[in-house]
Structure 1
Amino acid sequence: MADDRFPGVSYVIPVLNEAGYIEHAVRTVLAQDYPGERELILALGPSTDGTDEIVERLAERDPRVRWVRNPQTDIPAGLNLAIRASRHPIVVRVDAHSELEPDYTRKAVAVLQRTGAANVGGLMKAQGRTPFQAAVARAYNSRIGLGGGQYHGGTDAGPAESAYLGVFRREVLFEAGLYDESVRRGEDWELNLRIRSAGHLVWFDPDLEVTYWPRDSWEKLVRQFSATGAWRGELVRRYKGRNPLRFFVPPLLVLAIVLSLVLAVLQLTGVVHGWPSWLLSAVYLGPLAYLALLLWVSFVSERGATARDRWLYLLVLPSMHLAWGAGFIVGVLKGARDVVDTSRTG
């Protein structure tokens, strides 16, 4: 007889060019200490690095693993394909770059049942395998790095704006219309906004932890954050007045830096001089304060174990902030419907 405490669970993972990570992600799903029925559905984009062969091999070894094709490559489309192919009342989103703690599912389902929430999530605990990736992970785990979201460092359980990945009641996903496939980045926030607008509860619990492996090169990091920022700008266009103020800090920083550079040129060439020059020089205060913050964080408050760690952190933080901020400005001005996260394709 089925135990109502442990309803069946379907894990869904969108996958594209993840040969270096997908097997670890799948193994942590299959190793969950959850006694209820389980299945894993992977949505395979057109990978070129051998990812499909790895997934097919894993599916042959374990009947709980299934896969569907995702010719569109986009994450929301892949998630919807996998969710539609799922069979159980609980849907757990997993990222190909993530690894679940063994008790993640059991704890999350218990939280769903205790709170009556439609979706629950916990902490993203970023980690790195290389010095650069470790520096990115430190930035992910820092309030200075990504800041604001509960899943980057929250300590108190309670209602949340959004959730990292998410453990959902399947019927609520269909009630909300699943993921919006026109939103290529920020799809979690957008879906959770619709879930909350329908009167359902989204819940954060810091006891739920997921390991996340961030991008492992500077180029991929910049491309990822540029695309994410552009899509946040698109969401600001779509949902006016519904976006937290923290999203506007990076673009304001980018604008302050651009204005500072323009003013510096005008001052050096004598176009701007005298008291107007002194007055306009106030624009330098923002970038100077930001530089001071970067130096303090990188070499004092969050200093790494070695000099290389500190200098990498000093590179990573502004790369994330400025790429995101510049992308945001583009997204607000032009929209982001044609913006793709190319960090996943090469």
Structure 2
Amino acid sequence: MNTKAAEELPAVSVIMPVLNEERHLRTAVRHILEQDYAGPMEVVIALGPSSDRTDEIAAGLVAEDSRVRTVRNPTGRTPAGLNAAIRGSSHPIVVRVDGHGLLTPGYIGTAVRLLGEMEAANVGGIMFAEGETEWEKAVAAAMTSKIGVGNAAFHTGGLAGPADTVYLGVFRREVLERLGGYNEEFIRAQDWELNYRIRQDGGLIWFTPQLRVTYRPRPSVRALAKQYKDYGRWRRVVTRYHRGSVNLRYLAPPAAFLGVVLGLALSAVHPAFLVLPGGYLLAIVGGAVTEGRGLSLKARVQLPVAFATMHLSWGFGFLTSPRSLARKVIASRRPAGSTSAVTAAETG
């Protein structure tokens, strides 16, 4: 690309909230810096209080490339880190990347082009889960299948078009600043919540399968269960905070959880109730047969465990999400003296 064309490209700020990312941070930043985007670019890493070598690795990246710098995120919370990185950056296009996400070649250039062509507020694509261990490969298969995550295009793919939300996102800074950035009370689901506000503001969220970010799944059953419990818990907060935002797809995991738990409990009264957990077990085993093609035997055997961990943890988190979380979120944005929003949360 010639110099004149490069000068016409908008400058890009890549923001990264990181916490305990020593395993993937250097590779993630390398995938950013090796993008073939000819316009100006900066990478701002928001450092949480890590207990591993993340800070040391980040310092090395800063020393190696003048485009990289760091800001502090004392809370370690993702939305606070995102906002800190936004404040610490300056360019008109803001690209969100996580510390364990790997941008594919051409990602930034394609996203910037589509922002302009579609007059979108946010552009994003597919969260392409790819594992390294056999367990992670099983989780990756679950996270990219409709059996595992429903029909969310940013997980399973689909045609380009308007969307409710996308993975990570490439934003116009003016939109983020007008809407106040990420709501820092949302420990999880902050992307969905921000995209909901963008849509309510009249902005277009544009999904395209041309954009893909390689994602590294959680390395253990315990870590995956915590991740999905938190997803469910905070998605319930979103539905209480933004009335009318609930989607029938979100009710499937709670229904599965209730079916399994109630079926097992009521089987003491009559064994016929075992049809509920039994039916669920057959469904995920059958799903593993179809979705596990190409996996090793060890990964295929673990695939039903991945399905169940994701579904049941999400459902449990959704059903047990305390109303106090929604009240806290609402209070953080409520004008002084207003009580109507809190009352709504208490009854939701």
TM-score, structure 1 as length reference: 0.90
Question: Is the Cα contact below 8 Å between 2:100 and 2:215 reproduced in 1?
Answer: yes
Give the secondary-structure state (helix, strand or coil) at the position aligned to 2:270.
Answer: helix
2:142 equivalent to 1:158: no
CA-CA distance at 1:190 after TM superposition? 0.2
Give the secondary-structure state (helix, strand or coil) at the position aligned to 1:266.
Answer: coil
CA-CA distance at 1:4 after TM superposition? 6.7
Distance 1:300 1:242, change over 3 A: closer
Give the secondary-structure state (helix, strand or coil) at the position aligned to 2:70.
Answer: strand
CA-CA distance at 1:300 after TM superposition? 3.8
2:91 equivalent to 1:85: no
Question: Is the Cα contact below 8 Å between 1:126 and 1:214 reproduced in 2?
Answer: yes
Equivalent residue letter for 2:219: D
Give 1:272's aligned residue: none
Instruction: Structure 2: state its 5+ residue gaps.
Output: 329-348
Distance 1:287 1:261, change over 3 A: closer
Question: Is the Cα contact below 8 Å between 1:45 and 1:70 reproduced in 2?
Answer: yes
Counterpart of 1:267 (choices 266, 270, 292) is 270
Provide the identity percentage. 46
CA-CA distance at 1:288 after TM superposition? 3.1
Question: Is the Cα contact below 8 Å between 1:104 and 1:209 reproduced in 2?
Answer: yes
2:49 equivalent to 1:46: yes
Give 2:342's aligned residue: none
- Residue-by-residue CA offset, 1:214-251 (whole Å, 9 max, x unaligned): 11111111111111111112112222321211001101
Mean Cα deviation higher: 228-237 or 2-11: 2-11
2 CA distance for matches of 1:208 and 1:74?
A: 26
- Residue-by-residue CA offset, 1:155-191 (whole Å, 9 max, x unaligned): 2100010110000000000111100001110000000
Give the number of aligned pairs.
Answer: 326
Q: Structure 1: which 4+ aligned runs deviate by more than 6 Å? A: none
CA-CA distance at 1:290 after TM superposition? 2.0
CA-CA distance at 1:299 after TM superposition? 2.3
Equivalent residue letter for 2:263: S
2:32 equivalent to 1:29: yes
1 CA distance for matches of 2:326 and 2:227?
A: 14
Equivalent residue letter for 2:318: F
CA-CA distance at 1:286 after TM superposition? 4.0
Counterpart of 1:297 (choices 265, 280, 287) is 287
2:183 equivalent to 1:193: no
Question: Is the Cα contact below 8 Å between 2:126 and 2:209 reproduced in 1?
Answer: yes
1 CA distance for matches of 2:155 and 2:136?
A: 17
Equivalent residue letter for 1:44: L
Give 1:307's aligned residue: 297
Mean Cα deviation higher: 130-139 or 259-268: 259-268
Give 2:277's aligned residue: 287
Counterpart of 1:211 (choices 214, 225, 230) is 214
Question: Is the Cα contact below 8 Å between 1:76 and 1:187 reproduced in 2?
Answer: yes
